[in-house]
Structure 1
């Protein structure tokens, strides 16, 4: 807990994202962006970690985050992703998808391009609920059930899957260059391949019998067939999209809605989740136990099964993240925040640095996450 730095920002924070560092760089991230919601005037802000870059021991930036620049945002920020080091994409409750440009020289933020009302109903706008970027591609999803593909440097829209879903699509992630995975409000994952025409998904996965809304999804950074989801019931699910249509593992993570799940981008044995219940959890697989990883863990109750196992039969146990020897794994969870009462809406992790935003109008930063 001593590593946590709280910054009160006078606005409810819906999204937090670290600004990427150069791929070849070993440095820790030094700035992050926030998006707000449920405020009279919403904003996108960029912050620097530390006071004018003062460096302390171990090349750590010291002091509170300082506001670098800000820009007005129409509607609530419902999602946000960095396209590259200098461009940031937001999803709005107005249905718009907007690219912001960060001008590092004069430390300002401006709108580079916006697709207004990209998501809409017949006579009204529909909230854009999620965006994902793989430069130059941007994909958005919304309450209107559309999946839309853009090129960041093109004004028009590249592809629209009009009737991708009859329910709200809550989140989207890239699996491959031409494939994305969406999660919806009736507990389904749908795989879309932009090389295919029409509005039919290449694959549908779901929790059998349950129609619990799924709110978030993230792909394992090294093994694209492994994904994690979280939803309204607070359960963490691990899926292997290659095998079967059901999750391999279900873990009781939170007592309320899970808003985000993220694998650590360079050490995916670590995973992080945050929730409406005011908690942020760090999940870690480590060696040194004879019990399969998914049957161990603090603060968790775990069910693990093979999707291919016959009902009522001997269900094989799958190792954590389906990657490694199940006899040597262990899953542990750690609470990353002091006691909270208001929702933790968003988190991001890069290097040893973690940032999260809350309805308590606070941003929490930990620059020494043990990964």
Structure 2
């Protein structure tokens, strides 16, 4: 692996690769969002084919900290703000950004705004959660929210992820995970408790088997949930010495997971050694397009904690807030006003 570090003079809260133009293509463009500044920005970067640092293509001012960003299409993404708003941005042919839509008060307290804490996208839907405890469902073409489910946890909600086209899981500061069917007017289908009610800081779903959800905890542990059997996490593995800020499955090799945290670590969780036919009942029918076993995270080895963890970058004295990976290249954003880039993070 080769690690480079580019100083950008802003604390980076969120990094996201722009999706490739084809399902099997690669991308060389990513976006970042800053936070904790008087003049926060959303920026577009391009990675050169050489070993040089990424170059800035465009930036737009952003009101409030950029707490999360998620792509809806290959050219459009949503950004959630600390001022309670959600904005929709689109890339043009030169990868410059233009604002397409704004929901300025998606999250509010009585008489003031409430920070939007996390976003999830699925087709033409955006799910937004915030410190007001609300789950808000938005359509990119509609100014009025499709639905608002009030106080889904009775406290700040930190994470949200789609597990099916019309089902989302939310997680809050008390360690409650709630499974919601957006087609139903009823309350949450299930309430799950993380061990010792530790706050869940981030959620990520498996790229091809969305019923598998990884949860990063305030205690630095990674928990794997099977949403078909929600009585308890399938496994819990500790590695970070502080809260996990983000969790990401590798989109093409989902037996690899990456986490970053407030302890300044960026960790690669490698379960590929468990992807053997002997661990699954019907190997020929349980392969994903990447060639790995889709059940690797539910193997007996992983349940026993037999998983390799590797520190990807040298220790950072300040939090690493966000991580994303595409192909063999990983990017991360941190409070030390730097973007990390790790090439050859996976050797195929």
Q: Does the alignment reach a TM-score above 0.5? A: yes
Aligned to 1:267: 253
Query: 1:145 aligned to 2:133?
Result: yes
Aligned to 1:72: 61
Q: Structure 1 residues 112, 43: CA separation in 2 closer, same or farther (over 3 Å shift)? A: same
Query: 1:284 aligned to 2:270?
Result: yes
Could you tell me whether the CA contact under 8 Å between 1:289 and 1:330 is conserved in 2?
Answer: no
Q: C-alpha separation between the residues in 1 aligned to 2:306 and 2:104?
A: 47
Bigger shift: 356-365 or 129-138?
129-138
Aligned to 1:86: 75
Could you tell me whether the CA contact under 8 Å between 1:15 and 1:346 is conserved in 2?
Answer: yes
Q: Structure 1 residues 348, 288: CA separation in 2 closer, same or farther (over 3 Å shift)? A: closer
Aligned to 2:210: 224
Could you tell me whether the CA contact under 8 Å between 1:274 and 1:280 is conserved in 2?
Answer: yes
Could you tell me whether the CA contact under 8 Å between 2:274 and 2:296 is conserved in 1?
Answer: no
Q: Which runs of 5+ in 1 are unaligned?
A: 56-60, 294-318
Could you tell me whether the CA contact under 8 Å between 1:15 and 1:345 is conserved in 2?
Answer: yes
Aligned to 2:178: 190
Aligned to 1:114: 102
The higher radius of gyration belongs to 1
Could you tell me whether the CA contact under 8 Å between 1:135 and 1:152 is conserved in 2?
Answer: no
* Partner secondary structure for residue 108 of structure 2: coil
Q: Structure 1 residues 207, 337: CA separation in 2 closer, same or farther (over 3 Å shift)? A: same
How well do the aligned residues superpose, as a CA RMSD in angstroms?
Answer: 2.3
Q: Structure 1 residues 323, 177: CA separation in 2 closer, same or farther (over 3 Å shift)? A: farther
Residue 205 of structure 1, aligned match among 189, 192, 195: 192
Q: C-alpha separation between the residues in 1 aligned to 2:145 and 2:153?
A: 19
Q: Structure 1 residues 69, 326: CA separation in 2 closer, same or farther (over 3 Å shift)? A: closer
Q: C-alpha separation between the residues in 2 aligned to 1:166 and 1:9?
A: 38
Aligned to 1:370: 346
Aligned to 1:22: 21
Q: C-alpha separation between the residues in 2 aligned to 1:100 and 1:244?
A: 36
Aligned to 2:145: 157
Q: C-alpha separation between the residues in 2 aligned to 1:270 and 1:289?
A: 11
Instruction: Give the ranges of 4+ consecutive aligned residues of structure 1 lying more than 4 Å apart after TM superposition.
Output: 323-330
Aligned to 2:51: 62
Aligned to 1:304: none
